[in-house]
Every structure is written in structure tokens, then in C-alpha cells.
């Protein structure tokens, strides 16, 4: 079991967080048009999974803006922001903030993604939603970088994650 924290208070996570070199499980999440979307839909491309509790919070929005800017400067970069939010809320935030270079996916229909990827908060005030993490996958869904952010109030290590995509 993995752990993170919220303002220094420990939070347990369900499942095991993927480590560098492992191959991740497929997932089924919901895209902005309410269609099921799987990891297989992005086969053959490197992917940066930016996993956040809610796109409609300060740190989550900030990280989405930074990854959006990186994707704007590199059209080959596939950034998927995965959150517990409803697709409608994610679309509203992306539209308002001009986040046109990232894809958004919601775990609204089931929480298996959170458990399979070791990022579903098991306790604490945000139990039942996703912790903050970044996972970079190669074309075959092998992990080439992973960071489970130590505290939900912290930003991820952007430069390290983006550098992993260049390898």
C-alpha cells in the first residue's frame, strides 16, 4: 500500500503505485463526450498521465496549465489529466482556462483506475478520490517515470516528468 499526505497528515492509498520499468494495466475512464476511453486508445504513443484529485482546485489547475503549455510547445506530447471530477466540470475548467492541449478523463463510473494505479485515497477528508501523481508511459505502456507526490498540496516535479518523455 502506498501513502501520501494532506497538509502533513498521512493518507493511505489503495493498491500499489506503478514503479519505473513496470507495465501498467489498461483502464476504462470517461472522456469529455461521456464515452468510455481506455489506455489502448492511445497505443503507440508516449503518454504523460497527470493524476489529480480535482481539476477545479488551485494546485491541480496549476499543474494542468504547466503540462498544457508543454504540450502546446510539443504537439507529439500526449497529456491526459485524470481526475475524480465529472467530465462536465473538467470541460468547463479547461474551456475557461484555455487548456486545449490536454485530454481529460474521469473515473466517474468506477474507481478501479484508482485502485489499479495505487492512487485512490482510502482515508482522510478526501477519501474516495484520486491522489496527485504523474506517470509517464512509453509506447507499450511501460512506466518510464513515476512520481506519487508526497503531499497533495505540493506540485509534481514537472521538469523530471517532461524530461522522461524525451528519452
Q: Give the integer Cα–Cα distance in Å for 91 and 47.
A: 20
Residue tagged active-site, from 39, 49, 60, 164 = 60
Cβ-based neighbours of 132, under 8 Å, separated by 6 or more: 4, 51, 52, 53, 59, 60, 63, 148, 149, 152, 154, 156
Phi, psi of 133, deg, nearest 5: -160, 160
Is 104 strand, coil or helix?
strand
Strand partners, 135: 49, 146
Residue 60 bears catalytic tag: yes
Q: How far apart are the first and last CA of the chain?
A: 29
Q: What are the phi and psi torsion angles at 122 (to 5°)?
A: -90, -30
Catalytic residues: 60
Amino acid at each position: 500500500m502506498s501513502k501520501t499526505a494532506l497538509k502533513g497528515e498521512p493518507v493511505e492509498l489503495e493498491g500499489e503505485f506503478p514503479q519505473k520499468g513496470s507495465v501498467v494495466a489498461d483502464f476504462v475512464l470517461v472522456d469529455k463526450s461521456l464515452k468510455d476511453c481506455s489506455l489502448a486508445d492511445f497505443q503507440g504513443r508516449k503518454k504523460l498521465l497527470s493524476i489529480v484529485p480535482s481539476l477545479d482546485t488551485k494546485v491541480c489547475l496549476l499543474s494542468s496549465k504547466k503540462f498544457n503549455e508543454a504540450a502546446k510547445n510539443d504537439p507529439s506530447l500526449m497529456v491526459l489529466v485524470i481526475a475524480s471530477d465529472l467530465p462536465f466540470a473538467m470541460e468547463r475548467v479547461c474551456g475557461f482556462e484555455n487548456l486545449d492541449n490536454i485530454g481529460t478523463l474521469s473515473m466517474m463510473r468506477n474507481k478501479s483506475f484508482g485502485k489499479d494505479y495505487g492512487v485512490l485515497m482510502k482515508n482522510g477528508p478526501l477519501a474516495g478520490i484520486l491522489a496527485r501523481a504523474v506517470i509517464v508511459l512509453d509506447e507499450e505502456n511501460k512506466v518510464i517515470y513515476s512520481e506519487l507526490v508526497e503531499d497533495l498540496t505540493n506540485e509534481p516535479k514537472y521538469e523530471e516528468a517532461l524530461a522522461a518523455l524525451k528519452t
